[in-house]
């Protein structure tokens, strides 16, 4: 089975909140874009958080908009074996260097995990470093997590505390 790899982090020196997923799904990997599956509500939720219609922008413009608002993006998992896109299928994973990233992020105040698997694996990778930041456990933006959109949005809006 082929190992699947995450993308490089989307960060700059002004990131105040880092949103961590688990590992890109099949569609995202095929397109080389975070949250490429239109059924995943990530871009819609983040549009509400930052007050900009991200879905109408090109992918590079979306990433630039996140950075302009102080939002960084990455994954807890660097690479893993996974059949399909479900987090429950992640096996034999390696963590991304989250500690190295947060050490190079001077304005970082909060780390938000997009879903339970991202939180479980990310907190393990961060170890004691997690206590230096506000940690937010977001309900997954994935369609596999069946909480209503409004219930997800109510929690995601907490991110507004850290966006520019």
- For residue 85, the model assigns a pLDDT of 64
- For residue 164, the model assigns a pLDDT of 84
Global confidence as pTM: 0.94
Q: What CATH number is given to the structural domain containing 83?
A: 3.40.470.10
Q: How confident is the model at residue 78 (pLDDT cuts 50, 70, 90)?
A: confident
- Would you say residue 89 has pLDDT above 80? no
Which tens digit of pLDDT belongs to each residue from 46-59?
Answer: 999 999 999 999 99
User: Helix/strand/coil (H, E, C) string of the chain?
Assistant: CCEEECCCCECCCCCCEEEEECCCCHHHHHHCCCCCCCCCCHHHHHHHHHCCCHHHCCHHHHHHHHHHCCEEEEECEEEEECCCCCHHHCEEEEECCHHHHHHCCCCCCEEEEECHHHHHHHHHHHHHHHHHCEEEEECCCCCCCCCCHHHHHHHHHHHHHHCC
- For residue 82, the model assigns a pLDDT of 76
- Would you say residue 44 has pLDDT above 90? yes
Tell me which residues are annotated as active site.
40
How many domains is the chain partitioned into structurally?
1
Task: Provide the domain limits for residue 23.
Answer: 3-162
């Amino acid at each position: 089975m082929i190992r699947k790899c995450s993308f490089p982090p989307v960060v700059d020196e002004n990131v105040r909140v880092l949103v961590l997923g688990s590992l890109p799904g099949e569609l995202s990997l095929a397109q080389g874009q975070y949250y490429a599956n239109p059924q995943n509500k990530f871009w819609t939720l983040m549009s509400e958080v930052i007050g900009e219609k991200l879905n109408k922008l090109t992918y590079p413009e979306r990433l630039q908009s996140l950075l302009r608002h102080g939002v960084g993006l990455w994954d807890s998992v660097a690479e893993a074996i996974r059949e399909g896109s479900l987090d429950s299928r992640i096996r034999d994973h390696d963590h991304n260097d989250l500690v190295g990233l947060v050490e190079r992020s001077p304005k970082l105040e909060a780390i938000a995990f997009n879903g339970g698997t991202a939180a479980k694996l990310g907190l393990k990778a961060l170890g004691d470093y997690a206590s230096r930041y506000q940690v937010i456990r977001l309900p997954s933006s994935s369609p596999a997590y069946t909480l209503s959109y409004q219930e997800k949005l109510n929690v995601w809006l907490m991110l507004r505390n850290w966006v520019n």
